[in-house]
A and B are shown apart, each in its own frame.
Chain A
Amino acid sequence: MQNLDATIGYGRFILSGALATVELTIFSCALALLMAFLAGLALLSRSYSIRAVARIYVEFFRGTSIFVQLFAAYFVLPLVGISLTPVQAGVLAIGLNGGAYGSEVVRAGIQAVGRDQTEASIALNLTRWQAMWWVILPQAVVVMLPSFGNLAIEIMKATAVASLVTVSELTFQAQMVRSQTGETAIPFLLILVTYLVIASVLTALVRLLERRFSRGTAGA
């Protein structure tokens, strides 16, 4: 039963990796959500220059590899005087990358709300921001949520890249176990299951939000 002891031993090791993955996921999702709304709204701005800046951000982060973005955040930013910890660099790269994808979800969600809602808001003399906040966004969020759920899971899985800048998250820990014990099947099976568990929690969370936000729209 020496094998079991070893498994429990590196089980703890992997659990600490899981915590790091969760931490990376939460902060990256938060940054991605913020960027998604900022860029998504900017993509719909009346101002050409604001639209242009948002479009450049989106195309840059979607069109280049997340590995390169991560390395840039960790190795290149120090050259201009910005030194980040591995976790900060990871969150920055993964969050900005996720935000670029998310911004299109926000844009499409807002555009999916009918023109009639904007016209009713104008007729009721709401300002553009009031209309957006009280009328358009509450309906758009319902449309956005399933895609946001997908994106959150994508971001969670993308946190594995942070292992390349020495963040000891799940994949990094599994590699450590493998290199020190020579075990391959068990550690990777363990992190596979752990990723799946985290993803299931994310999915359940999004389902909950979907139910919460769909009041009135689905006959509720």
Chain B
Amino acid sequence: MGLHIAPDRSAEAPIIEFREVGKSYGVFKVLDQLSFSVKPGEHLALIGPSGSGKTTILRILMTLETVTSGNVFINGVSLNREQKNGRDIPASEAHLRKMRADIGMVFQHFNLFPHKTALQNVALAPVLTGRMSKAEAKDRAIQLLDKVGLANKADEYPSRLSGGQKQRVAIARALALQPKIMLLDEITSALDPELVEEVLNVITDLRNETDMTMLLVTHEMGFAKDFADRVLFFEQGKIVEDGPPSELFHSPHHERTKSFLRKVIAAGQRV
């Protein structure tokens, strides 16, 4: 017989936790005592006006930025501090590399390696990080390029690809390291409008087919609504509102969320 118990997400330990994180550049506070956590497999959309700190959150998770105060935990392990000989010290390069292993990122401007073909862009890191042999990495890269619809562009250099194709190669490249957390930083903002859809379709497939935890920073409210299980609305480095997309987009509680959405709709976006 056996009793089937549905997994209870609320009881699961968070995969990401920000605990009173502050980040400033000089006197400018980007993040202000920010606390939130993300459960494994959650699809989070981070929205808000420019400069509200959304991208900084992704960059801190990718260890491209350090925090000014507070702590970030991945699976309960501190990202920015480590324990060595019983002392609490800033994370070393070795610690950061271990933590990065579970995290992948796709950038607004693709950041492809221009001197490498699409295939080489995808296969490089799995080989260099010692996860796969060259032959395995190549096979895997071909599979991934096929998945993003670019198997026929494997041997092209990025300069010969359209923006949408470049971004799909970048997604394949990030997937090659099989991350548990995927960070998507305004991945369609640099694209011509007619190329946005092909990239978003790839992301929708990933969302539906994998159990990756995904954090999406975006200005595409329509897509955020379809993509996310949960939306965080940021302003001035703080979370103003946190809820499911149906609630946040259709009956927001906060006046600032309302006025932000009004502006977005006025600018012609569907919500």
CB within 8 Å for A119 and B157 given contacts A124-B173, A125-B97, A125-B125: no
Segment with Cβ contacts to A, from B109-117, B205-213, B215-223, B234-242: B109-117
A45 to chain B, nearest CB (A): 14
B61 to chain A, nearest CB (A): 10
Q: B62 near A124 (CB under 8 angstroms)?
A: no
B174 to chain A, nearest CB (A): 7
Contacts of B105 in A (CB 8 A): 123
Q: B115 near A219 (CB under 8 angstroms)?
A: no
How far is B115's CA from A217's CA once the two chains are assembled, in angstroms?
A: 6
CB within 8 Å for A126 and B117 given contacts A120-B107, A217-B159: no
One digit per residue, 1 when the CB lies within 8 angstroms of any chain A CB and 0 when it does not, for chain B 42-59 equals 000000000000000000
Q: A139 near B107 (CB under 8 angstroms)?
A: no
Q: Which residue of A lies closest to B109 (CB)?
A: A116
Contacts of B97 in A (CB 8 A): 125, 127
Contacts of B158 in A (CB 8 A): 216
B168 to chain A, nearest CB (A): 15
One digit per residue, 1 when the CB lies within 8 angstroms of any chain A CB and 0 when it does not, for chain B 88-113 equals 00000100010011011101010111
Asked whether B266 is an interface residue with its Cβ less than 8 Å from the other chain, the reply is no
B62 to chain A, nearest CB (A): 5
Asked whether B177 is an interface residue with its Cβ less than 8 Å from the other chain, the reply is yes
Contacts of A220 in B (CB 8 A): 157
Q: B116 near A126 (CB under 8 angstroms)?
A: no
Q: A117 near B113 (CB under 8 angstroms)?
A: yes
Contacts of B115 in A (CB 8 A): 138-139, 142, 215-217
Asked whether A128 is an interface residue with its Cβ less than 8 Å from the other chain, the reply is yes
Q: A219 near B125 (CB under 8 angstroms)?
A: no
Q: B117 near A130 (CB under 8 angstroms)?
A: no
CB within 8 Å for A123 and B104 given contacts A216-B157, A216-B158: yes
Q: Which residue of A lies closest to B183 (CB)?
A: A123
How far is B177's CA from A124's CA once the two chains are assembled, in angstroms?
A: 7
How far is B160's CA from A215's CA once the two chains are assembled, in angstroms?
A: 12
One digit per residue, 1 when the CB lies within 8 angstroms of any chain B CB and 0 when it does not, for chain A 64-82 equals 0000000000000000000
Q: B128 near A134 (CB under 8 angstroms)?
A: yes
Q: A122 near B113 (CB under 8 angstroms)?
A: no
CB within 8 Å for A139 and B114 given contacts A124-B173, A125-B125, A215-B157: yes
Asked whether A135 is an interface residue with its Cβ less than 8 Å from the other chain, the reply is yes
How far is B97's CA from A134's CA once the two chains are assembled, in angstroms?
A: 17
Q: Which of B100, B114, B160 contacts A125 (CB under 8 A)? A: B100
Contacts of B125 in A (CB 8 A): 124-126
Q: B64 near A119 (CB under 8 angstroms)?
A: yes
Q: A124 near B117 (CB under 8 angstroms)?
A: no
How far is B93's CA from A70's CA once the two chains are assembled, in angstroms?
A: 43
Q: Which of A119, A124, A126, A216 contacts B114 (CB under 8 A)? A: A216
Asked whether B63 is an interface residue with its Cβ less than 8 Å from the other chain, the reply is yes
B117-132 contacts to A, CB under 8 A, are 117, 124-125, 128-129
- 18 more contacts with CB within 8 A, not counting A122-B62, A123-B100, are A116-B107, A119-B107, A120-B107, A120-B113, A122-B63, A122-B100, A123-B64, A124-B124, A124-B129, A124-B173, A125-B100, A139-B114, A215-B115, A216-B115, A216-B116, A216-B117, A217-B159, A219-B160
Chain A interface residues toward B at CB < 8 A? 116-117, 119-120, 122-128, 130, 134-135, 138-139, 142, 215-220
